[in-house]
Structure 1
Amino acid sequence: MQALHISLLMVFPALAIVGALKDLTSYTIPNWISLALVVAFVPAALASGASLSAIGLCLAVGFAALALGVGMFAVGWIGGGDGKLLAACALWMGWPAVAPFLLCTALAGGVLTFAVLALRSGWVAPLVAGGPVWVRRLGQPGGDLPYGVAIAAGALIAFPKALLAQGVLG
């Protein structure tokens, strides 16, 4: 049973990393990634032995994060895929691990912002010009920020604190 639990838990970091890479290279996070995270949560929660009340609390956290993501999308702070990824990751975090997840995501977002600003500065432009298409696009002044990278980083850092990972990773 432990091997099954660990296998199901590894779905989370794998999909978070895929979401980050897709956002970094294409500025999109496909819906299937967030949907797969939500669907995989159920067997992972059952394999972890989480109580129905704990699973319900995780669902409440996920819905609250979805509302937050929709609000941030509405004011133009993040993209729609970012909001859905945020909610799907928050679902896996549950309570109280959602607090370190959001804090780590915000800090990773700050680091990402400074890194992209450095990439967009004049002194790095010659290096960006010879890079792959996605790097040139990322280096364009005034472009968007692939915030899915920060969400995935926050999720990976906070994941050992998540309810489902306790006793295995924590």
Structure 2
Amino acid sequence: MVESDSYFSLQIITAGVLAVIAVNDVFKREIPNVLLLLLMVVISVNTPFSVSSLLVFLSIFAFGIFAFHHRWLGAGDSKLLAICAYASLEQWYWMLITTALLGGVLSVIYVVFNRMVRHGVIIGTPSQTLPYAVAISGAAMTTIHYM
């Protein structure tokens, strides 16, 4: 019973941290490093080490640096994507596909939002960026191995 309670606690903490990261990205367009560090600690407690997961982490992190340099992806999004891919173990490719699909849905929502703002249907400021941590966090909740 104690083991399942601690397992459930890790799931709640992981989901909570991912939710806070997503909400923070929506409102501030920033992912605090302290939240990424907390997520990494929680994930490392429950994720067995594997060389293949480490290589996936390093590859996605390297791509993230490249994407950040070209302004395709934010630095926090790159780090979050690499951490979540590590935690997804063998399902990392599914996490990337799910992230892309959720990112597409999020993009459509933002296009509609911006159009409604421009036409005066709603009051607001059109958004120039996309809070991609929402898509990454959503995908991570479906693919992290202990969720």
Fold match (TM-score > 0.5): yes
SS in 2 for 1:126: coil
Pairing partner for 1:101 from 92, 95, 102: 95
Q: Which residue of 1 aligns with 2:120?
A: 126
Contact between 2:33 and 2:76, CA under 8 Å: does it hold in 1?
A: yes
Identity of aligned residues (%): 28
1 CA distance for matches of 2:62 and 2:10? 26
Q: Which residue of 2 aligns with 1:117?
A: 111
2:85 pairs with 1:90: yes
2 CA distance for matches of 1:6 and 1:122? 41
Query: Aligned residue pairs: how many?
Result: 145
1 CA distance for matches of 2:133 and 2:119? 24
2:139 pairs with 1:154: yes
Q: Which runs of 5+ in 1 are unaligned?
A: 130-135
In structure 1, what residue type is equivalent to 2:11? L
Q: Which residue of 2 aligns with 1:132?
A: none
In 2 relative to 1, CA 123–6 (structure 1 residues): closer, same or farther, beyond 3 Å? closer
In 2 relative to 1, CA 18–102 (structure 1 residues): closer, same or farther, beyond 3 Å? same
In 2 relative to 1, CA 125–153 (structure 1 residues): closer, same or farther, beyond 3 Å? farther
TM-score, normalised on structure 1? 0.76
Deviation larger for 103-112 or 148-157: 148-157
2 CA distance for matches of 1:66 and 1:110? 21
2:71 pairs with 1:69: no
Deviation string, structure 1 residues 54-74 (Cα, Å, up to 9, x no partner) = 3x4333322222112112111
TM-score, normalised on structure 2? 0.87
1 CA distance for matches of 2:13 and 2:60? 20
Pairing partner for 2:37 from 35, 38, 45: 35
Q: Which residue of 2 aligns with 1:23?
A: 25
In structure 1, what residue type is equivalent to 2:104? G
Q: Which runs of 5+ in 2 are unaligned?
A: none
Root-mean-square deviation (CA, aligned residues, Å) is: 1.9
